[in-house]
């Protein structure tokens, strides 16, 4: 028998509501002999208002001891932009070296999307998670004057690029189509672009079975809409990946279904699983949020912990649930969670 020690960070807004459903489905899918221990962490806007803290070192230390982290959403209009994003969410990704930000997209039935009915849309974006313009490397000169100059430097290291590119090749190699597309903008961003392309080509020689492709990011956005079937695994930098995965979510059924994993493949630190959506303060507390993205993030969490069969059960349950959603009256957050918990029960 084994046990899972899970840190739970519900966070702000609908984070609370969707995480409750994610945990409900998780408890329901786990076999008897897997013991689940959860510990909730009070982090987010509420904590910041009360204490001024975003993520104290003591909390970081205690989070480190868990097998994985389930996070709801971070952010609130009452907190100045950037404080919680940098002080909490990005701090976790950087401190726990989540260099693979895994964001799968698959077209589920009955979803409101311009691509409805198109078969074979099933791709995964491997977004670099610890570098690029997210490192906070920049500055401002003559701030607030008409002559202000701001820079926001994108940091790309050979070490950082190679490890995420290698991870993406491994994932492509393990999938039936074995195709990997690098997305960048090397016609303009020549220094970083060439670093990425050179490493992509060099590492690729170790994976002869993987078919490779390169697209500039602007062209990639066109293909996400006109020809999403062409993608299998995509690897890209932190900012391009941020933008592309919102687009991917929008065209494959909406942000209510988009799951993600912030993964530290070495296992040195706990990986963190969260829906791609935010805290949606406009609908918070009303039972309107779709918990499906969180439930699918739980599937990614289980797969990361080696519980593949349970992950598949959750994904199949979501597909079956969506197949029956057609024309049905809208359900509450809790009702969707209950329905999924029943479907996955062993
Ligand atoms: C995401 C979010 C974050 C990001 C923000 C909230 C810092 O948009 O997870 O995609 O840019 O990575
Ligand atoms: Mn984003």
Q: Which two tokens stand for residue 226?
A: 């006109």
Centroid of ligand 2 to alpha carbon of 287 (angstroms): 23
Q: Which ligand sits closest to the CA of 262?
A: 1
Q: Which two tokens stand for residue 91?
A: 């701090």
State how far the Cα of 15 lies from the Cα of 275, in Å rounded to an integer: 9
- Give 229-278 pLDDT, tens digit per residue: 999 999 999 999 999 999 999 989 888 899 999 999 999 999 999 999 99
Q: Name the pLDDT band for 153 (thresholds 50, 70, 90).
A: very high
* Closest residue CA from atom 6 of ligand 1: 85
Q: Say yes or no: domain 1-99+259-346 is CATH 3.40.718.10.
A: yes
Atom of ligand 1 at shortest range from CA of 89: 7
State how far the Cα of 304 lies from the Cα of 262, in Å rounded to an integer: 10
258 belongs to an annotated ligand binding site: no
- Give 47-65 pLDDT, tens digit per residue: 999 999 999 999 999 999 9
State how far the Cα of 251 lies from the Cα of 104, in Å rounded to an integer: 13
Q: Where are the beta strands (DSSP E) in 204-333?
A: 211-216, 233-236, 259-263, 271-275
* Closest residue CA from atom 5 of ligand 1: 85
pLDDT of 346: 63
Give the number of C-alpha atoms closer than 13 A to the C-alpha of residue 123, restricted to the C-beta side. Answer: 26
287 belongs to an annotated ligand binding site: yes
Atom of ligand 1 at shortest range from CA of 86: 7
Atom of ligand 1 at shortest range from CA of 239: 11
Bridge partners of 4, per DSSP, are 36
- Give 276-285 pLDDT, tens digit per residue: 999 999 999 9
Please identify every residue annotated as catalytic: 134, 185, 218, 242, 246
Boundaries of every domain in the chain: 1-99+259-346, 113-252
Q: Which ligand sits closest to the CA of 87?
A: 1
Above 90 in pLDDT, residue 109? no
Q: Name the pLDDT band for 180 (thresholds 50, 70, 90).
A: very high
113-252: CATH topology is Isopropylmalate Dehydrogenase (3.40.718)
Supply φ then ψ for residue 264, to 5 degrees: -105, 95
What sign does the dihedral 14-91-93-133 (CA atoms) show? positive
Identical fold between 1-99+259-346 and 113-252: yes
Q: Which two tokens stand for residue 63?
A: 């989070």
281 belongs to an annotated ligand binding site: yes
**How much of the chain, in percent, has pLDDT values that exceed 90?**
91
**How much of the chain, in percent, has pLDDT values that exceed 70?**
100
Element (H, E) at 296: helix 292-304
Q: Which of 87, 90, 258 for mutating ligand 1's site (highest number of atoms within 8 Å of CB)?
A: 90
202 belongs to an annotated ligand binding site: no
pLDDT of 83: 96
**Do residues 76 and 285 touch, judged by C-beta distance below 8 A?**
no
* Closest residue CA from atom 4 of ligand 1: 242
State how far the Cα of 44 lies from the Cα of 71, in Å rounded to an integer: 11
Q: In what order do the strands lie in the sheet with 68-73?
A: 34-40, 2-11, 68-73, 271-275, 259-263, 100-106, 122-128, 233-236, 179-184, 211-216
Distances (CA, A) of 309 to 37, 158, 181: 20, 36, 28
Q: What is the mean pLDDT of the chain?
A: 96
| Cβ-based burial of 52 (10 A; exposed 0-12, middle 13-18, buried ≥19) | exposed
111 vs 235, which has greater pLDDT?
235
Above 80 in pLDDT, residue 119? no
């Amino acid at each position: 028998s084994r046990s899972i020690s899970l840190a739970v960070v519900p966070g702000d807004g609908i984070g609370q509501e969707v995480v409750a459903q994610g945990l409900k489905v998780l408890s329901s899918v786990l076999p008897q002999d897997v013991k689940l221990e959860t510990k909730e962490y009070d982090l987010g806007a509420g904590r910041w208002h009360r204490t001024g803290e975003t993520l104290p070192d003591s909390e970081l230390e205690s989070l480190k001891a868990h097998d994985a982290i389930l996070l709801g959403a971070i952010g609130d209009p009452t907190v100045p932009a950037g404080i919680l994003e940098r002080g909490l969410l990005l701090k976790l990704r950087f401190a726990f070296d989540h260099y693979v930000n895994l964001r799968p997209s698959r077209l589920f039935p009955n979803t409101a999307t311009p691509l409805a009915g198109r078969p074979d849309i099933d791709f995964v974006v491997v977004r670099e998670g610890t570098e690029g313009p997210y490192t906070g490397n920049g500055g401002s000169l003559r701030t607030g004057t008409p002559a202000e100059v701001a820079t926001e430097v994108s940091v790309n290291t050979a070490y950082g690029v190679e490890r995420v590119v290698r991870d993406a090749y491994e994932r492509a190699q393990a999938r039936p189509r074995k195709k990997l597309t690098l997305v960048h903008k090397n016609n303009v961003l020549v220094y970083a672009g060439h670093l990425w392309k050179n490493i992509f080509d060099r590492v690729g020689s170790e994976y002869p079975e993987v078919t490779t492709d390169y697209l500039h990011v602007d062209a990639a956005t066109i293909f996400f809409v006109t020809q999403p079937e062409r993608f299998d695994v995509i690897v890209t930098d932190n900012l391009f990946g941020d933008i592309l995965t919102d687009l991917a979510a929008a065209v494959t059924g909406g942000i209510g279904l988009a799951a993600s994993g912030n993964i530290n493949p070495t296992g040195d630190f706990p990986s963190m699983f969260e829906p791609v959506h935010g805290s949606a303060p406009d609908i918070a507390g009303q039972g309107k949020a779709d918990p499906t993205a969180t439930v699918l993030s739980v599937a990614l969490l289980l797969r990361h912990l080696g519980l593949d069969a349970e992950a598949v059960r959750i994904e199949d349950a979501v597909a079956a649930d969506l197949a029956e959603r057609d024309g049905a009256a809208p359900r509450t957050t809790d009702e969707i969670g209950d329905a999924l918990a029943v479907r996955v029960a062993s």
